[in-house]
């Protein structure tokens, strides 16, 4: 919900969403951003395959300057992939306790 509110308030400039992520935008200073949001109710972790697909879409195909993966569960093995590729991960727990932090 917070991301949706911030998207509305900041009014990012849309970018061609050829990377097939949930949100793609261009910041005021011209940087590109890709965001993937996953509601994984009933799962304890984000599958590594989900992170691999997002990294491929955001970093390799889309060549986005920044990438953010938000999930309702933990990342575990997927976190290592995120760390190697510079993807920022945020869990619902981290988000509820203040500013977004790395998972």
Query: What is the residue-level pLDDT of the chain in tens, covering all 103 positions?
Result: 455 444 444 445 555 555 568 888 888 888 999 999 888 777 788 999 999 999 998 877 778 899 999 998 889 999 999 999 999 999 876 665 555 544 4
Q: Which helix (H) or strand (E) holds 32?
A: strand 32-38
Q: What's the pTM value of the predicted model, to 2 decimals? A: 0.72
pLDDT confidence of residue 98: 55
Give the residue among 41, 35, 9 at the shortest CA–CA distance from 89: 35
pLDDT confidence of residue 51: 93
Query: Coil, strand, or helix at residue 66?
Result: strand
Please tell me the distance from the alpha carbon of residue 51 to that of residue 27, in angstroms, as a whole number: 23
Alpha-carbon torsion angle 40, 61, 20, 94, nearest 10 = 30
> Which strand ranges, in their side-by-side order, compose the sheet holding 66-71?
13-14, 23-26, 32-38, 66-71, 88-91
């Amino acid at each position: 919900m917070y991301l949706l509110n911030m998207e509305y308030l900041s009014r990012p400039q849309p970018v061609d969403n050829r990377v097939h992520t949930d949100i793609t935008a261009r910041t005021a200073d011209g940087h590109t951003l890709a965001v993937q949001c996953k509601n994984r109710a009933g799962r304890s972790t984000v599958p590594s395959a989900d992170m691999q697909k997002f990294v491929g879409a955001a970093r390799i195909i889309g060549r986005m300057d920044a990438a953010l993966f938000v999930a309702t569960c933990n990342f575990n093995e997927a976190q290592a992939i995120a760390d190697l590729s510079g993807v920022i991960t945020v869990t619902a727990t981290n988000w509820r306790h203040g500013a977004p932090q790395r998972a």
